[in-house]
Structures are given as C-alpha cells and as structure tokens.
C-alpha cells in the first residue's frame, strides 16, 4: 500500500528483458530485497540493489498494462516506498496496481488527462486518483478525461512538471470505487 506522496525522483537505467534497473538515493535507505517500491505508480518488488541502484523483475502483465515499457535510459521516474503501519496516510490509499495508461492533454499546473475507455466511471469531482503514482484530486471530470490542479511543490518534486502533451501516464483510480461497484453489480442487473 502507498500514499501517493512521492519520496524521490530517480531515473531509469536499463531494461534487460524482464528486469528493470533504476538509480536512486533516498529510497534505498533501509530498503532490502523483497521490499515494494512504486515506480510511476507501479508496485514493483526489489530483487537486487546496490549503493545507488535497485532492480525489479517486471511481468508481461505489468509491461502491457503500464507505461513502463516506454521508458528510455535516463528518464526520470517517481519513487515511493510502501507504507509502514506507523506512517501517516497523507495522500490516499494507493495500491500501485495501475488500471490503465492515459495521455496528457494539457500539461500542468492545470493537468488534464485523457483516460482509457471505462475508467472515467470511477472518477468523481473532488475524488482521488493517482497519476504516475502521485495522489491527486480530480476536477472537471468528463467522459474519458479529468483535470487535476498541480501546486508548485508537486511540479517541483515529482515528474509531473516535466510532462508534455501526448505523454503517457499510469492511472490508478480509487480502489474504494471499484469495490463499491463490484458489491452493487449483482443488485443493479449488470451481471
């Protein structure tokens, strides 16, 4: 589980088939093999690490469902370590399980994202969404798109300030909305 509050912007180093390598500093403090780290909102398991790098095995499912396969050497990426039970939950509950890849329509500070078909039903005005792992609040929600206002701090300490129109982003909708839909489906005739 994550909060959507980015701890560090690192960089992508390489992709050797199913293993990805990243450069990092801060998030490696106290990190061990088997720990979870979200990369642009994708929960990955640390399988190897060094003084300033770490590696994760990435499944075909993750490659197909996220934008990780589009990373180029040197690209900046958002990092967040998994929440400990003693941590504050300052963002919202983020699983690191990407629901789809969206496209930047307008870059920040008034970020607008085109969502994959079907995800917009989980987005509500003033609701939570994670974009590349960053916890954001939606507004101006329409069919297949939403906006999120980015404060200067968020633009400075995440990769969201570097995005251009047409860039791909990982989107994770609020998991509570998905559970509510699942629970209500048998009762509303949408079997």
The CATH number linked to 122 is: 2.40.30.20
Ranges of the chain whose pLDDT falls below 70: 187-191
Same domain, yes or no: 104 and 174: yes
Does 56 map to a domain? yes
Does 190 map to a domain? no
pLDDT at site 1: 87
Does 150 map to a domain? yes
pLDDT at site 44: 96
Take residue 167 and report the two structure tokens written for it: 């860039």
Instruction: Give the predicted TM-score (pTM) of the model.
Output: 0.87
pLDDT at site 86: 82
Same domain, yes or no: 115 and 150: yes
Total domains present in the chain: 2
Range of the domain at 105: 100-184
Same domain, yes or no: 116 and 172: yes
Does 59 map to a domain? yes
pLDDT at site 163: 95
Does 169 map to a domain? yes
Same domain, yes or no: 58 and 133: no
pLDDT at site 84: 85
């Amino acid at each position: 589980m994550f909060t959507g509050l980015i701890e560090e912007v690192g960089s992508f180093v390489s992709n050797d088939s199913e293993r990805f390598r990243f450069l990092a500093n801060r998030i490696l403090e106290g990190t061990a093999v088997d720990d979870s780290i979200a990369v642009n909102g994708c929960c990955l398991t640390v399988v190897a690490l060094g003084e300033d790098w770490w590696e994760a095995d990435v499944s075909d499912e993750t490659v197909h469902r996220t934008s990780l396969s589009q990373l180029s050497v040197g690209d900046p990426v958002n990092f967040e370590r998994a929440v400990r039970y003693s941590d504050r939950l300052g963002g919202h509950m983020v699983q690191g399980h990407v629901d789809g890849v969206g496209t930047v329509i307008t870059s920040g500070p008034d970020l607008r994202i085109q969502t994959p078909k079907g995800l917009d039903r989980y987005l509500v005005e003033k609701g939570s969404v994670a974009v590349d792992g960053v916890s954001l609040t939606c507004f101006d929600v329409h069919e297949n798109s939403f906006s999120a206002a980015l404060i200067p701090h968020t633009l400075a300490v995440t990769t969201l300030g570097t995005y251009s129109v047409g860039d791909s982003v990982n989107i994770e909708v609020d998991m509570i909305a998905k559970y509510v839909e699942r629970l209500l489906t048998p009762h509303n005739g949408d079997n």
